[in-house]
Amino acid sequence: MARDKDYRNTEYCPILNKVEEQKQVLEKEIKSEFPRTKIVYNKVNNWDSVYHKKFAQIYNNKCAYCGALWGLLPVESFEVDHFLNEASFPDTTEGRVEAGRMINLVWSCISCNRGKREITIKPPYDDLLNVDNGNIAMVFRRDREFYIRICNTYQNDKFIQQFYKSLHLGYETRRLDYLGLQLEGKYQAEKDEKRKNKLGECLSILMKERNRMVVTDGAL
């Protein structure tokens, strides 16, 4: 598996580690603290809850679909996503409990989460697009100009095309997020104070421009 080429990461990003196991541990923690909680999603999706932050940390605070970093975007730009959308489950309490189980939850930016809301993921795509084990990084790649592209193998796959389009993975903002991610990595790694300040300035100009683009063009 070409994890070192994960399009969601720059050279500075730590690789996702045992996401599924960490999620199980967090689910156990929530259930032991709140034994009457049926829908785990409600606890994790609550901004004020400590579980919200813990959940984000499992994903290194990065959107599992596009790789955008939580810390660089406005705090409200992230949500907890149902990997298989709620329409994939029976419209009953049991169905909602099942949909809201940790195994089905993913840390996501608003743009990706809302974009994929209407998409029903069925086999084999549930496995192919698995974000937790990194399979999705075999489907998409980052080109030399920082755009996210569909890998050759799946270029003619209608479902993958729809997924790519709905999540706006080809958008300009995805490039800027990646550039921001790289600058942020450089900023963190820089020891020289002067250079660090300069990098910080560049980063803040870039992200301001990025957020202005989202507001004026609606180009989430």
- Interface residues toward Zn ion, by CB under 5 A: 63, 65-66, 68, 109, 112
Nearer of residues 109 and 131 to Zn ion, judged by Cβ: 109
Nearer of residues 66 and 199 to Zn ion, judged by Cβ: 66
Tokens 């421009």 belong to residue: 209
Nearer of residues 116 and 199 to Zn ion, judged by Cβ: 116
Nearer of residues 19 and 30 to Zn ion, judged by Cβ: 19
Smallest gap from Cβ 171 to Zn ion, in A, equals: 10
Smallest gap from Cβ 124 to Zn ion, in A, equals: 23
Please report, for residues 61, 69, 85, 219, the alpha-carbon distance to residue 14 in angstroms, rounded to integers and kept in the order given. Answer: 11, 12, 28, 28
Contact present, 117 and 83 (Cβ < 8 Å): no
Nearest to 217 by CA among 187, 176, 188, 178: 176
Nearer of residues 109 and 129 to Zn ion, judged by Cβ: 109
Beta bridge partners of 69: 62
Smallest gap from Cβ 220 to Zn ion, in A, equals: 9
Smallest gap from Cβ 108 to Zn ion, in A, equals: 6
Smallest gap from Cβ 80 to Zn ion, in A, equals: 13
